[in-house]
Amino acid sequence: MINPRLPCRFVAQGFLSFCCGAFLSLQIAHAVETGPDEIQFDPHIYAYTAEFAKTFGMPEIWVSDELHGVDAVAYRVMPTYASCGWARKLDTCFRHNTRCELDLYFDQRRNPLFWDERHPPYRYPLDRYSTKFISPTPRYRSPIRQGENRIVRTSPLIDSARGKGITWRYRFSNKDGRGSGFALSSGYERNVFDQIDLVTLNIGCFIGVNHLDLVTEEFLMSRGRMSLGVVKTVDLPDFWSRRKTLADKKKERHLDVFLKEEGKKVLRELRENTVRSVPIFPGN
């Protein structure tokens, strides 16, 4: 999350990386002074307009004129709860689970959104609360527009011309819309900064994203054949998409290592506890 009230630093952070031997590499990083003697490095992947960078003192290296329809985007890979029960064992847990989200910042003058005023001014991802483990119903606490498609009826955004819900679709092909899917909003905050709205999308990990569309219910019903059903399009820069792909590969390596280790354990246990096969038919 960007905080305009804290001084920012643009630094070159050196770190050791191990891949086919140890070597020293250099990573460009953004840092924020959070106290007199404390600096926190910002791990998120950004792209933003020149005006946004100037307003919030962000590094110019991530300014892009290829960014359209939005003022800033930040890709976040956030740690979340461990998942257990692998190989049918409750104590076998994968502890590198992450939640991959996209923060979109919209200037209300340059890139206005149309909000359903019946919704509260903000809603944060449910993973921040214990309600995730108490009941699944809180995710439906938002007002529901009756008679609309289930994907759009709880959306806080509406088509201003018709007053009906709209939702987000992601694409990584500009030509024909292939490689697309729906990105549900996991949170939002109107006026998160002065005249700037924030929308957070849960896009999942390992998904390529070059474009985002706000689409209508009619677009959903036509299975994407109605070009008139696209209310707004966001174009993301190539350099941002490449950096996102690298971050996803790092997470994928964690999962690959875990699965290989657990797979070896399962095979070893099968060999050590081999059960003699019993004939299916008596007398054989």
**Predicted pLDDT at 229:** 83
Mean pLDDT of 194-214: 88
Of 15, 11, 63, the closest CA to residue 39 belongs to: 11
Residue 187 forms beta bridges with which residues?
200
- Separation of first and last alpha carbons in the chain: 69
Main-chain phi, psi angles of 174, to 5 degrees = -85, -15
The Cα 158–Cα 115 span in angstroms is 6
pLDDT at position 243 over 50:
yes
The Cα 282–Cα 98 span in angstroms is 52
- Please give the model's pTM, rounded to 2 decimal places: 0.72
Residue 63 forms beta bridges with which residues?
48
Of 182, 203, 240, the closest CA to residue 78 belongs to: 203
Burial class (CB in 10 A: 0-12, 13-18, 19+), 15: exposed
Of 270, 256, 280, the closest CA to residue 88 belongs to: 270
| Average pLDDT score, the chain | 73
pLDDT digits (tens, 9 = 90+) for 91-142: 777 666 777 889 999 999 999 999 988 888 888 765 565 655 555 554 555 5
The Cα 153–Cα 166 span in angstroms is 8
**Predicted pLDDT at 4:** 45
